[in-house]
Structure 1
Amino acid sequence: MKLHQSFLLSNFKLILSALIAVLLLSTPSASQLSSDFYSLSCPNVELIVRDTVRSASEIDSTIPGKLLRLLFHDCIVEGCDGSVLIEGNGTERSDPANKSLGGFYVVESAKRLLEFWCPGTVSCADILVLAARDAVEQTGGPSVEVPLGRRDGVVSSASNVRPNMVDTTFSVDQLAQRFTSKGLSMDDLVILSGAHTIGSSHCNTFSDRFQQSSGGNMVPIDNTLEKNYAEELARKCSADASDSTTVSNDPVSPFKFDNQYYGNLLANKGLLNSDSVLATDARTKSKVEAFSKSEDSFFTSWAESFVRLSSIGVKTGNAGVIRFSCTSGI
């Protein structure tokens, strides 16, 4: 009898060990991102975020552009860790470069829903990546499968913004240096700049291309801008325009994610200096020309570059936390 019990116990231990091994192999590694990271813990995460973005965009058509910009401003500073979402004095969000960001409430709304259905499971960093991904698809852009499993950062400092942020007055050399420092290539620079096919910019972000006359009007001083386009911008950003006045990044199809941005650059209608220089530098012009001719090529390249952008400096495993609220550091 004792021998029989010992045999059964031994077999039970072997079976248990085998089951544990199978579970470990079927569970996504905490140290890596995976497209099915939440398949067991929160299978509806993508549906919830997608519906939240769609509902917000139906009310406010500027939301997709804001979400895409919000992701870039998050990833380019501390990596894609949701630190730009944290409110408070001295945070990334408080820096002047981030004062014009929007769409925060969309991420927070999705987080509240996910905390109800899958408490303590989905990071704000992953929600932001999904929201930006969905913003592109819902405005006509490509569908992108993004790996998930990011964890949230708890450090958010305004002092980290300026040394990492891209400025609208940058030359191609400066842009390339900033992108290279984040592990992105020159091609990524041209591709990701295509995000400006949607969204808008405040007048002060391209004020260096104009000069204020004695009468208070804006006078174009940048001869690289197409004349009629420059005059149109001057009217929209006249002396009596408010500080909150914005202009669409793409004057042709401002709410559609397409390849029109590149055609605009070749027509000298790039809104920002950091846009225009891409069409005049030999290192980037050929890619601009190629994308202006083929939207399929742009979309294919976008999917690849977007994944690289959303993987910058990610925190996984024990390197981060799952914040209860995206606007707070806890």
Structure 2
Amino acid sequence: MASSSYRLNYSFLLHLLLFLSSLLTSSADLSFNFYASSCPVAELLVRNTVRSATLSDPTIPGKLLRLLFHDCFVQGCDASVLIQGNTTERSDPGNASLGGFSVIDTAKKALEIICPATVSCADIVALAARDAVEAAGGPVVEILTGRRDGRVSIAANVRPNIIDTDFSLDQMIDGFSSKGLSIQDLVVLSGAHTIGASHCNAFNGRFKQDSKGSFELIDASLDKSYAETLMNKCSSSESSSLTVSNDPETSSTFDNQYYRNLETHKGLFQTDSALMEDDRTRKMVEALASDEEIFFQRWSESFVKLSMVGVRVGEDGEIRRTCSSVN
């Protein structure tokens, strides 16, 4: 058994190194430990900031992971989602429920004191999401750094690029494909829903609401008992501010429970259930549900790809002094 496990891990590490090498070749301005000389404490400081914030608020990992998705899917991983203003990405209703900004700001302020004008906000967002997964019990992932911050952030770019929770599988595949991500990446990165929480309006389209505010299940792909729990919570007078855990079983732990939930028809979003309802993705879900080690291996690969979407390097961007505004 031990030798078999060793061969699996060795094979995975070799595969991952070759994969990362191909990314490195195509992104010469990025590198592992990019700040080794210019700011040696950069990655450690971000990691410690994330850990400290998570100890105070267990919802932080889910927020930081979602922040990376919303940044990278709209004009690339350039921290444009952090910029404040009436017409920026951050102002769009699709980003209204994003969180974790204070963690990024805390890390940035500390780094500006230690290493001024050196570490990009885009790298901090990517590192914080990486560290959030580790803080929640997930795998340790090595990522390339050296991203530059974008100078443009436009609200109108948000809706055409983000994945809505009521998308069909074909719509999700198209959205991921436009970012250079495969169907496997789609299934694996959906595993981010193993942590975090969502507001009722993100999934209440699966129910019909009557004039008295009561809900009735209209989505047959959802487990009835689980649906009853959701409907009871969302019929509350405080439902507009109420959040529900994405994973009803292990909401604060990054594990493969999400996929086991899908097998029992307990995916919170329509986009979750769609992965189990289609032959193109069902077998992937079942494989990830049965083996957490495989999920962690696949996650490491797909997360690296996500963190590299549309990165800016060199003169194509800047190092912001404050993450919420351009220089």
Q: TM-score under structure 2 normalisation?
A: 0.91
Deviates more, 1:179-188 or 1:220-229: 220-229
Identity score, percent: 61
After superposition, the C-alpha distances for 1:1-20 in whole angstroms (9 at most, x for unaligned) are xxxxxxxxxxxxxxxxxxxx
Residue 121 of structure 2: aligned partner: 124
Q: C-alpha separation between the residues in 2 aligned to 1:182 and 1:30?
A: 16
CA shift in 2, pair 1:219/1:113, >3 Å: same
Q: Does structure 1 residue 272 correspond to structure 2 residue 261?
A: no
In structure 2, what residue type is equivalent to 1:215? K
Shift of 1:87: 0.8
Cα deviation per residue 1:25-52 (whole Å; 9 max; x = unaligned)? Answer: xxx9994211121110011111100111
User: How far apart, CA to CA, are the structure 2 residues paired with 1:260 and 1:57?
Assistant: 20
Residue 261 of structure 2 corresponds to residue 254 of structure 1: no
Retained in 2: the 8 A contact 1:31–1:317?
no
- Where does structure 1 lack aligned partners over 5 or more consecutive residues? 1-27
Q: Tell me how far 1:240 sits from its aligned partner.
A: 1.3
Structure 2 SS opposite 1:151: coil
1:55 counterpart letter in structure 2:
S
Deviations 1:227-272 (A, max 9, x none): 1100000011014133111100000000000000000001000000
State the Cα distance separating 1:214 from its structure 2 match. 3.0
Aligned mate of 1:174, from 171, 174, 185: 171
State yes or no: 1:296 paired with 2:293: yes
Match of 1:23 in 2: none
Contact 2:200 2:239 in 1 (8 A): no
CA distance in 2, matches of 1:29, 1:305: 17
Distance 2:248 2:33 in 1: 38
- After superposing the two structures, state which structure 1 stretch, 98-107 or 220-229, moved more: 220-229
How many pairs were matched up? 303
Q: After superposition, where does 1:27-42 map in structure 2 within 5 Å? A: 31-42=28-39
| 5+ residue gaps, structure 2 | 1-24
CA, structure 1 residues 267+34, in 2 after alignment: closer, same or farther (shift >3 Å)? same
Tell me which residue corresponds to 2:228.
Answer: 231
> Per-residue displacement from partner, 1:69-96 (whole Å, max 9, x unpaired)?
0000000001000000011100000000
Give the distance between the partners of 1:38 and 1:154, measured in 2 at CA.
Answer: 22
Residue from 120, 132, 139 that aligns with 1:135: 132
1:221 aligns with 2:218: yes
Q: Deviations over 1:86-116 (max 9, x none)?
A: 1110000000000000000100100000001
2:283 to 269, 286, 292: 286
Give the secondary-structure state (helix, strand or coil) at the position aligned to 1:297. helix
Given the two structures, how large is their TM-score scaled by the length of structure 1? 0.90
CA contact (8 A) 1:218 1:239 kept: no
Give the one of 47, 52, 60 matched to 1:50.
Answer: 47
**1:312 pairs with one of 288, 309, 314:** 309
Contact 2:61 2:196 in 1 (8 A): yes
Map 1:48-87 → 2, pairs under 5 A: 48-87=45-84
Residue 211 of structure 1 aligns to a residue whose secondary structure is: strand
Which whole-Å CA distance do the structure 2 matches of 1:29 and 1:214 have between them? 57
**How many angstroms apart in 1 are the aligned matches of 2:211 and 2:78?**
47
Is the 8 Å Cα contact of residues 30 and 317 (structure 1) preserved in structure 2? no
Instruction: Give me the whole-angstrom Cα distance separating, in 1, the residues matched to 2:51 and 2:78.
Output: 23
Give 4+ residue runs of structure 1 displaced > 2 Å after superposition. 28-32
Q: Are positions 1:190 and 2:187 aligned together?
A: yes
Are the counterparts in 2 of residues 67 and 103 from structure 1 also a CA contact under 8 Å? yes
Q: Equivalent residue for 1:89?
A: 86
Task: Give the greater-gyration-radius structure (CA).
Answer: 1
